Each structure stands twice: as C-alpha cells, then as structure tokens.
Amino acid sequence: AQKDPKGWTSPQKVLAPPMVYITGEEMTHYAMQLILAQWIKPHVDTTKWEFFDLSCKARDESEDKVLHDAVAAGARIGAIFKEPTITPTTQQAHAMGLKKGWGSPNGAMRKGWNGVTISRDTIHIEGVELGFKRPVLFDRHAVGGEYGAGWAHTGTGRLMTTFFPDDHSLHPVIIDARRLDNASNVAVVYHNPLDNVREMAHHFFGRCLEMKVVPFVVTKKTVFKWQEPFWKTHKDVFDEFYKDQFKAEGLLDTTDGELAHLISDAATMQIIRWTKGGFGMSAHNYDGDMLTDEIAQAHRSPGFITSNLMGVAADGRAIKEFEASHGTVSDLWYAHLVGKPTSLNPLGLAEALMGAMSHSGVLAGHEAKLRVDRYVDCLRRALHATFRAGEGTQDMVGEGQKGKTTEEFIDTVAKRLSQYIARDLDKEQELLEYAGTTFKPKAVFSASMAEAVDRDALLEVFKEFADSSGETEQPTTLTFDQFEQLMVRLGAAPVKNPSRISSAREV
C-alpha cells in the first residue's frame, strides 16, 4: 500500500479517540488481552485510551481508589468499555486475602454517570440464524426499584412512612400507615426517581426508529398504580416527537396507530410468541432484569445480548458504558489454568468493545467517527464471516464438529481482519464479493446444547409425525440429523438433564 487515502493502514494506524478501558479478571480478561494484542494493536493507535484495573486485587490495594478514578474518567470522557469483573462474597474476599468484600462497582458507575437506562439488545450475526429473526431492543430503567430498597425484618407492630417536603411551608405527609400483624414480617421501602424518564424515552424511541422495530412500554400499572407516570412520560415524548415518524415507517400498523402499552406479565408471554423479533420494550428496573434474561434465552443465551449503560453528563453529553452480558466465565478460566484447551465465544465482549469505540467516535466528531466506524465495520465483518465459515468456537459449530479454541478463534479472526483491512484500502468492492462467496452461511448450533438433547425422546416425536400420514407422499426428505439440528436451533429440542444446562449459566 503506497498511498493511504483513508489514513489508517499499517504502519499508520487508526487513531482511536479517547475512551476508558476497564479491565477485569479471569477468562474474559485473558481473552481480551489476546483480542487487544491481535485485533486492536496492529491496526489501532490506543494511546488516547485510559486503562483502569478493577480486579479485586487492584481495588483492594488502592482502597477502591481505582473505581473512583475510573468513574471520574468515564464521566469526563463519555465512552467506556468494561470487561466482566468479580464481586466477591465475604467468604471469597477472605479466601483472596482482601481487606474487605468490595461491593459491585455497578452502583458507583450508575451514580457517577447519571445512569438513565441499561440497553440490552439481541446480537445478530449476518447469515447465521440465532433465536429472534429481527432485532429485539430493550431499555431497562437504570435507577429506582427494589435494588435501592430499605428494609427490616420485624415482629408485630405498626409501620409508618412519612414524607417531609423540602418546601418548609408544607406539612409532612403520611404516605403509608399499616399494621404488621404476623409474628414475622419484612417491611420494604423504595422509590423511583422519575426525572430522567424523558431522556430514557428519547433514547428508546430513537433506537427503535433507527432499527425499525415496534416500540412497547412495559409496566404493571394496572395494579401498581404508581407506575402510571413512567408510561405517561413515554407516551408524551412519543406523541410529541416520534409518532409521525413511526407511522410513516409503518411501525404502528399492528398497534392501531398508537404507542402500545404491555402489561409486564403479558410481556413474559409475548417474548415467547414473537419469535420474529422486530420489537422494542422499555421497562422499570426489576421488570427489565426479568424480561431481558427471558429474551436472552429466547434468542439463544446471555452471550448473544448486549448490556450497555446510557447516562448523561452535566453538560448533556451521553455517557455510554458497554459490557458483555455475561460474567468472567470462571469454569473455563480454571480449565485454562490447568492447561486444558478452552473455547470461549468472545462475541459479547467484541460487540461491547466495538460499541464503545463507535461511541468514542461520536464524541470525537465526524472525521474521527468515520475512521473508527470503518475499522469497527471490518472487525465486525471479520468476526461474523468467521462464524459463518464454520470456524467458530465450540458453541457455534455443528454436532460432531470441533470448534476452535479460544486462541485459535481469536487468531483466525485476526487473520481475516488483516485481509479485510488490506483489501479495503484498494478494492472495497472485491472485498464484498469475496466475503459473499467464500464464507457461505451454513447451519450452526450449540454443541453443548446438542450434547443435552434427548435423542430418544426426539426420535419418538419425529416418528409419530412421520408415520401418522402415509397417504400423501412428497419428494422432500428431512433426515433425522437435519431435523435434530433444526430443533436445537429453534430451542425446541427436549433436553435430558435440565440442571446440567442450568449450571452452565455464568451470569
């Protein structure tokens, strides 16, 4: 490459705008070290990134100063990537020799960045079918609800809750007065701060419009009357700023031309029914916790959903923190430590990193954004093409096939990424054709799921259906192996041992 019209070929790398990079622990930290070395460093100048170590050890040694520094830097810079971290129990903290059990960093981050919403969206791989066909977007209110509740275990007695307005001319108000007549009770009090729900609504509807999905506001307001303002604020913002645009896009055709409300328990049903995707939900904090996990499972697993915190800086800039939806994957880490080969799928980590980099571009202005997005686009295409080529990790190849190890996969993507970047310089068009022909989509499914399939039970179902006719005969033959792949991919295959699958969950 003699000329460098786009300013980012080696040796001249893409200059990445400022970003906060928070490092964590165990398997995901190990994988991210490899990714930084092989995907990022050869192509990206990261000198403007600020790194913070939120490992238990670093937090302990600094008496949690690292956390406060990271939060301050995040508030200043506005684009944050975070690796999964560990929040040790008191016992674990003791075993690790820590001064104390440093709590989850989430609270400090949500507070320091004025967290408004946690966006959790389905991740899709072009040409590979996962759960939902089209995107499912979710915004979960990042504040309020039982997460910040005060509580006590009580005997019999009376409970009184009083509100003292800041306006001293106003009388105190008794909000609730009740008898606790059981010998054993728990009393719980919490509040939902509502000032940022307008920002949440704008964020949510803007995203829904961009992705062309149908928006739903989810509450239990029919019974929990205090949830009415959450809906009302969404509705007001929608009617004033978004309704006409959604209508023009045909996104209100199935909701009588209006923003639709969905009761939270009905939402648990629709998530199972609406397998096509193409919808968005905005919900309170705990409902969001429940429903996004259901969506993750309906789509495939927590590895295929994002987890991004959107906050607002004092000057109105959006602060966005991106992380994978899963934890540090301890079981693979222990396997790695004793020298066993591992196969970690880094899709969620990579999506978070790419999201943070893209947002750093937004904050740095048009030119910077174009450069960063071009790199991110290459990385995403290289990643997707590797999965499509059947060169994925163990969870993404067909039954009987061997998936790549953690290291092999990262290496394979790195090679493809280099090709993409090199070709992109001179012949963008050729790259597109190349990607289209060589990496032909093939059916892939989770090998760990396949192991859990009850083949006998499945064969019974198959036989029942296949034998019940006999009169009509069609030329199309579906072999049982193909059928099994289909069932597994649809998440419809019966499993042998439910608890073994459940224990695979890391989050």
Judged by CB under 8 A, the chain residues 269 through 308 that form the site for a second copy are 269-276, 279, 286-287, 289-294, 296-298
Minimal distance, residue 431 CB to a second copy, in Å: 26
Cβ-Cβ contacts under 8 Å for 468 (sequence gap 6 or more): none
Render the burial of 336-364: b for 16+ CB within 10 Å, e for the rest.
beeeeebbbbbbbbbbbbbbbbbbbbbbb
Q: Determine the interface stretch with a second copy among 67-75, 176-184, 239-247, 364-372 (rule: CB under 8 A).
A: 176-184
- Contact with a second copy (CB under 8 A) among 95, 173, 337, 432: 173
Return the number of the residue (32 or 237) whose C-beta is nearest a second copy: 237
**By C-alpha distance, which of 392, 353, 344, 410 is closest to 376?**
353
Return the number of the residue (292 or 342) whose C-beta is nearest a second copy: 292
CA atoms within 13 A on the CB side of 503: 6
Minimal distance, residue 449 CB to a second copy, in Å: 9
Quick one: DSSP state of residue 393? B
Residues binding a second copy: what is the number (CB under 8 A)?
119
**By C-alpha distance, which of 62, 67, 75 is closest to 24?**
67
- Indicate whether 47 belongs to the interface with a second copy (CB under 8 A): no
- Indicate whether 264 belongs to the interface with a second copy (CB under 8 A): yes
> Of 192-211, which residues contact a second copy (CB under 8 A)?
192-195
- Contact with a second copy (CB under 8 A) among 163, 212, 245, 258: 163
> Of 115-134, which residues contact a second copy (CB under 8 A)?
129, 133
Sign of CA dihedral 273, 277, 280, 286: positive
Give the Å distances, CA to CA, from 228 to 101, 142, 284: 38, 18, 11
* Phi, psi at 496, each rounded to 5°: -75, -45
What x/- string results for residues 244 through 263 when contact with a second copy is judged by CB under 8 A? ----------xx----x-x-
Q: Determine the interface stretch with a second copy among 6-14, 353-361, 373-381, 456-464 (rule: CB under 8 A).
A: 456-464
What x/- string results for residues 487 through 506 when contact with a second copy is judged by CB under 8 A? x--xxxxxx-xxxxxx--x-
Burial of residue 210 (CB within 10 Å: 0-12, 13-18, 19+) is exposed
Return the number of the residue (255 or 405) whose C-beta is nearest a second copy: 255
Neighbours of 265 (CB within 10 A): 12
Minimal distance, residue 308 CB to a second copy, in Å: 18
- Indicate whether 2 belongs to the interface with a second copy (CB under 8 A): no
